[in-house]
Amino acid sequence: MSGWIVGRRWALALVAACGAGLLVDGVRGQEDAPGSPSATTTIPGNQLPAPDPKFGGVIRKNAAESKAWWAPRIVPPKQAPNVLLIMTDDVGFGAPSTFGGVIPTPSLDRIAKAGLRYTNFHSTSLCSPTRAAIITGRNHHSAGFGVISEQSTGFPGYNSIIAKDKATIGRVLLDNGFATSWFGKDHNTPTFTASQIGPFDQWPIGMGFEYFYGFVGGDTSQWQPNLYRNTTAIYPYVGKENWNLTTAMADDAVKWLNEVNQIDPNKPFFCYYVPGGTHAPHHPTPEWIEKIRDMRLFDEGWNKLRERIFANQKKLGVIPQDAKLTPWPDDLLKQWDQLTSDEQKLFIRQVEVYAAYLAYTDHEIGRVIQAVEDMGKLDDTLIIYISGDNGGSVEGTLLGTPNEVASFNGVDVPVERQLKEFYDVWGSDQTYNHMAVPWSWALDTPFKWSKQVASHFGGVRQGMCVSWPGHIGDEGGVRHQFHHVIDVVPTILEACGVPAPQEVDGIQQAPIEGVSFAYTFSKEKADAPSTHKTQYFEMMGDHAIYHDGWIASTKVVRPPWEIVGAVNQDPYDNVTWELYDLSKDWTQYDDVAAEHPEKLAEMKRLFLQEAEKYQVLPLDASVATRLVAPRPNITAGRTEFTYTVPMTGLPQGDSPLLLNTSYKITADIEVPEGGGEGVLLTSGGRFGGYGLYLLKGKPVFTWNLVDLERQRWEAKQPLAAGRHVVEFEFTYDGVGAGTLAFNSLSGIGQPGTGVLRVDGQEAASLKMERTIPLILQWDETFDIGSDTGTPVDDGVYQVPFEFTGKLHKLTLKLDRPELTPADISKLQAAQRNNRVSE
């Protein structure tokens, strides 16, 4: 007993000594003394990860004579701030109240009042290209994202692969001791690596972000999203009627921030917060729709709205007093007073829901900012809040659409049908909605054009606000220096005192291509010349070059809402150039190309130099046909697929594609006693897709034609208990069946005949007069044995509708010829200006 007491006293004394900072050898030291468990260090940062340090202790024959030593924990430089990098989606310069708009954005206003408002900041004009640039500090072609991954092609500037010599800001800060996270939209994982088997090096967690909560792809429903935690698909909305991703994402970010703070209050965080708002579908909650509707912001129409925003912008000082409002494009868009009363009613509803979505998104961003303040860390946090990754989106067509999947397949929904079937549910999960083009043009005030247009500021000018208490001495100030999204990374690195690495994982790093705008934080430098002197712009053939206050821009030849059809096959030589002197013309109002031919020639030469330098070549003006171009996904070259167990969640980019081809689906199943029900195979969902299932025992195959029509093959009798073979065979009349005969039926989206068979006997036959030409609902997946997300046939079954029998084997065989570039060009020409009105 006495020995136990002595031992216990000795142990307690040892614990006390260690707690007081005493080392085992009895010498008093600091908690962060070299070799102690609490020791920390910063690293030079030129090599990541930092090399393991040499053991600094002493090793003898026994522990009593030896000295333990722990490698110090890597921490950022002492004065490094936390970083909250926020960016919304598809927001025009004139949309938020912070930059003169009528839509309330108090959270963005808050950052502007506490810091600085930037009025001359630029994107790339499209989603994932901007996002690749903002996380790498390199131009979007340098980072492989000349376009979105869904349009990727086999050229270095367009393959949608961020090369390993361009480590992201997440990776750099992670290896320098930050906690890193990514919330929201991930449109930088190639579509062909987005499945459950990866590879995951191009997912957020493979690019230096320790925690990811969001969706993979260009957009998703906010009601039933394609949602992941790290690399695992999750379905938190199931059974929760009022669940919405915009709020759920803020909840998760607040939770993560608080966890980091509570576990290690001294560990700085880098939080990349990029919600889906306000990319279509516009999905705010009903409360926000009602709030905006009651404000009556849009009753006077889009032309009066532009004038109102323009006046606000001059009052706020975010545009010069002598700036000119670019003219309304009467050759492209109607004036408000030319519309019918039905058109005005519908279009007001569309924009009110969009405005509600922007206000709702900004409100939830405000909750994240408030969480930082509640932790007492707002004064130690650099907040960069960028309003939009490109200009306002015009992908909703001239009429708007209740289903963006329809518009991307060249289908317009008439105003009368929109009013009758979708007006009352606009913004709910019954729509995948987008507004009419003129609203987006108006919300890009004072500029012309929009998203997808890289040559004009309506596509690339974004409002940005930055706050960093104690480091920005001009609270509420405005900055007009020219900058670009590639400048965000070097600004963060400078603020954190962290260098750009020369080597990561043994790979020599390409230079950062942006420049820091941290010099603008000083009040004394409020009017300093911009350090960003030259910047090219390019998107789908449209291009421009900025240099020292001048910009040379190609004339826009394809309105961005016309995505089907080929335009301008030679985007380099066969273009008309415009020239603007931005020192006198803030809005690209006066084309002075005729007055300055030498300057224009100089700028054109400069564009080619920059294009060659940053992987912009070859220029490509094609749009929709790139969606169906072959790329190296896991289905490439395969014509037969076999499944023997249930499986869900295979993304569209990694699953068999049944568009514009003949195919045969064969399901070998066993029906239980009492009958069977449930899904055998689905792909897509409520807004476009197909499914093979048993309904009350009867085999059914359904094609959902972008939620405007459903064609169904159904057997007359339910299946008896026992083993059966259910087949669906489709013979395509266009390009398919092993032939490329370009006759009147050739092309994409052409007719075909489907036959449903049960145990070898024909059960139903039906000819489809049209088929989906380009893309299924992209945020829904390919599922075997049950259905996730939304059903392909609303009102007939509800998800998950699991198959109650046994699936022995399901096979899918395709009969698709390989398309050559010449074939694709022919298909493209066949679709030119060939939109369908349902």
Given a cut of 50, is residue 746 above it in pLDDT? no
The residue ranges of every structural domain in the chain are 2-74, 82-613, 631-818
- Distance (Å, whole) CA 579 – CA 599: 8
Half-sphere exposure of 696 (CA within 13 A, CB side): 5
Q: Work out whether strand 688-695 and strand 698-705 pair parallel, antiparallel, or are unpaired.
A: antiparallel
Quick: pLDDT tens for 293-317: 999 999 999 999 999 999 999 999 9
Residues 6+ away with beta carbon under 8 Å from 444: 92, 93, 94, 391, 392, 450, 458, 459, 461
Given a cut of 60, is residue 567 above it in pLDDT? no
Q: Sorting pLDDT into bands at 50, 70 and 90, what band is 120?
A: very high
- Phi, psi angle pair for 402, to nearest 5°: -80, -5
Quick: pLDDT tens for 316-343: 999 999 999 999 999 999 999 999 999 9
Q: Where are the alpha helices (DSSP H) in 377-470?
A: 404-408, 415-421, 437-442, 457-460
Place of tokens 């039906």: 766
Burial class (CB in 10 A: 0-12, 13-18, 19+), 32: middle
Given a cut of 70, is residue 493 above it in pLDDT? yes
Quick: pLDDT tens for 643-689: 999 999 999 888 999 998 999 999 999 999 999 999 999 999 999 99
- Distance (Å, whole) CA 291 – CA 383: 28
Task: Tell me 584's DSSP state.
Answer: T
Give me the sign of the Cα torsion angle 127, 128, 132, 138.
negative
Superfamily of domain 82-613: Alkaline Phosphatase, subunit A (3.40.720.10)
Task: Work out the percent of the chain whose per-residue pLDDT is above 90.
Answer: 83
- Distance (Å, whole) CA 159 – CA 30: 52
Distance from the first to the final alpha carbon of the chain: 91
Q: Sorting pLDDT into bands at 50, 70 and 90, what band is 573?
A: confident
Q: What is the CATH number of domain 631-818?
A: 2.60.120.200
Rounded mean pLDDT, 575-583: 97
Half-sphere exposure of 574 (CA within 13 A, CB side): 9
Given a cut of 90, is residue 440 above it in pLDDT? yes
- Distance (Å, whole) CA 719 – CA 738: 34
Output the pLDDT for position 831: 46
Q: Which residue has the higher pLDDT, 554 or 2?
A: 554
CA angle 675, 678, 681 (to 5 degrees): 130
Given a cut of 70, is residue 637 above it in pLDDT? yes
Place of tokens 């001009």: 474
Token output for 42: 């910063």
Q: Sorting pLDDT into bands at 50, 70 and 90, what band is 826?
A: low
- Distance (Å, whole) CA 507 – CA 164: 7
Q: Sorting pLDDT into bands at 50, 70 and 90, what band is 816?
A: confident
Output the pLDDT for position 627: 76
Cβ 301 vs Cβ 337: under 8 Å: yes
Given a cut of 80, is residue 568 above it in pLDDT? no
Given a cut of 60, is residue 2 above it in pLDDT? no
Task: Work out the percent of the chain whose per-residue pLDDT is above 70.
Answer: 91
- Distance (Å, whole) CA 202 – CA 33: 39
Given a cut of 90, is residue 565 above it in pLDDT? no
Token output for 18: 């260690």
Q: Sorting pLDDT into bands at 50, 70 and 90, what band is 818?
A: low
Q: Sorting pLDDT into bands at 50, 70 and 90, what band is 23?
A: very low
Given a cut of 50, is residue 498 above it in pLDDT? yes
Cβ 105 vs Cβ 92: under 8 Å: no
Q: At what angle do helices 488-496 and 127-136 cross, to 10 degrees?
A: 30
Q: Sorting pLDDT into bands at 50, 70 and 90, what band is 825?
A: low
**Residues across the chain:** 838
Transcribe 250-314 into DSSP letters.
Answer: HHHHHHHHHHHHHH-TTS-EEEEEE--TTSSS----HHHHHHHHTTT-STT-HHHHHHHHHHHHH
- Distance (Å, whole) CA 828 – CA 584: 41
- Distance (Å, whole) CA 834 – CA 565: 7
Q: Do domains 82-613 and 631-818 have the same CATH topology?
A: no
Quick: pLDDT tens for 50-108: 999 999 999 999 999 999 999 999 999 999 999 999 999 999 999 999 999 999 999 99
Token output for 201: 């090096």
Residue type, 88: T
Given a cut of 80, is residue 744 above it in pLDDT? no
The mean pLDDT value of the chain amounts to 91
Given a cut of 50, is residue 242 above it in pLDDT? yes
Quick: pLDDT tens for 122-175: 999 999 999 999 999 999 999 999 999 999 999 999 999 999 999 999 999 999
* CB atoms inside a 10 Å sphere around CB 12: 10
Q: What residues does 627 pair with on adjacent strands?
A: none
Quick: pLDDT tens for 189-228: 999 999 898 899 999 999 999 999 999 999 999 999 999 9
Place of tokens 């803030």: 586
Reported pTM: 0.92
Given a cut of 50, is residue 613 above it in pLDDT? yes
Given a cut of 80, is residue 12 above it in pLDDT? no
Give the per-residue SS3 of 610-636. HHHHCCCCCCCCCCHHHHHCCCCCCCC
Quick: pLDDT tens for 271-297: 999 999 999 999 999 999 999 999 999
Given a cut of 70, is residue 819 above it in pLDDT? no
Quick: pLDDT tens for 716-734: 999 999 999 999 999 998 7
